[in-house]
Amino acid sequence: MARVSAIVPAYNAAHYLPTSIKSVMDQTYTDWELVIVDDGSTDGTRELVASYAAQLGDKLRYVYQPNKGLPAARNTGIRNASGELMALLDADDIWLPARLERSVAAMDVDPAIGIVHGRFERVNVEGSPVGQTQPVFPLKYMSGMIADHLYTRRIHLACATVTFRKACIEKAGWFDETMRATEDRDLWFRIARFYKVAFVDEIIARYRVSAGSMSSDTARMLTWQTYFVEKHYKSGACGPLKRMEALSSIYRERGDDLFRKARMDEAISVYSKAALYNPLKIANLYMLTKALAVGFRNRVASGKRSANLP
């Protein structure tokens, strides 16, 4: 029985899957098994995985299920895993060779640690780096008992870097299969309420960014982000002040996205909500003022162009 189970949910990702599988095979830490959950793919995923059977032998487990969505596929992978530690890897993402070695070493420091995560690098569909590696958060938010920081969005954990103890599921519960986004934060929050979180301060994975990815659907993400906040507020896990801080962070992030896309009227509306939920946060007021100024300047410029038309 392997100590680490690499959980790879796959839905019509046969184009990327060989790269992901190879990144598992290239790990410097070798006590692993690979559990691939085919979530109703129609693109030849089954045949692709079968081509690795002779090479990987009993280190490979393939599970097929009708399409149920990402949270259900991850749960199926965990149920079929024999390892003590669960390491997540989406079918289009990539592990760097020392990913498991660093994660397991960090986990072994303290039995009270339930989750280990690390830094990641964003890459495009071709696998080339794009932009900064990830948002930069103060290190004090990255490790320890950080459930509040996860709830209020002071920290984000990238799934491709996350390893957690399977035993945590017994205490915190499984991925919420009713959620269609933010289900990962939801589980990390529940685990972090009972266990410490450790951080590997180096890039250990590559996260692939594509135009059609679920995270690019900002309206959908907003729906489930607010659902997550209200879910745990109603359960009593978080109080009203934390709820307001969390909602403020959600709307600030949405506003930043709209601001980058030069959709100023929408950005102003969303920044206003962020400031309403947390008026004491200077960044909220600053970005609202900035969006108002840019919007006003744009309207003035547009008016001048209209006045000069024949």
Q: Give one DSSP letter per residue of 68-135, joined into a string.
A: --HHHHHHHHHHT---SEEEE--TT-EE-TTHHHHHHHHHTT-TTEEEEEEEEEEE-TTS-B-S-SS-
**132 vs 227, more confident:** 227
What pLDDT is attached to residue 34? 98
pLDDT beyond 70 at 136: no
Which backbone phi and psi does 245 adopt, to 5 degrees?
-65, -40
What pLDDT is attached to residue 236? 96
What pLDDT is attached to residue 12? 96
pLDDT average, residue stretch 299-306:
71
pLDDT beyond 60 at 212: no
pLDDT average, residue stretch 27-45:
97
240 pLDDT band, cuts 50/70/90, is very high
* Residues forming CATH 1.20.58 domain(s) in the chain: 239-307
What pLDDT is attached to residue 216? 58
Q: Does domain 239-307 have CATH number 1.20.58?
A: yes
Which of 33-37, 120-124, 195-199, 285-289 is the least confident region? 120-124
pLDDT average, residue stretch 189-218:
86
pLDDT beyond 90 at 264: yes
Domain 4-214: what homologous superfamily? Spore Coat Polysaccharide Biosynthesis Protein SpsA; Chain A (3.90.550.10)
* Residues forming CATH 3.90.550.10 domain(s) in the chain: 4-214
pTM, to two decimals: 0.91
- Is residue 273 within 8 Å of residue 266, measured between CB atoms? no
pLDDT beyond 70 at 290: yes
pLDDT, the chain, mean: 93
pLDDT beyond 90 at 306: no
pLDDT average, residue stretch 203-207:
95
pLDDT average, residue stretch 179-202:
97
pLDDT beyond 90 at 125: no
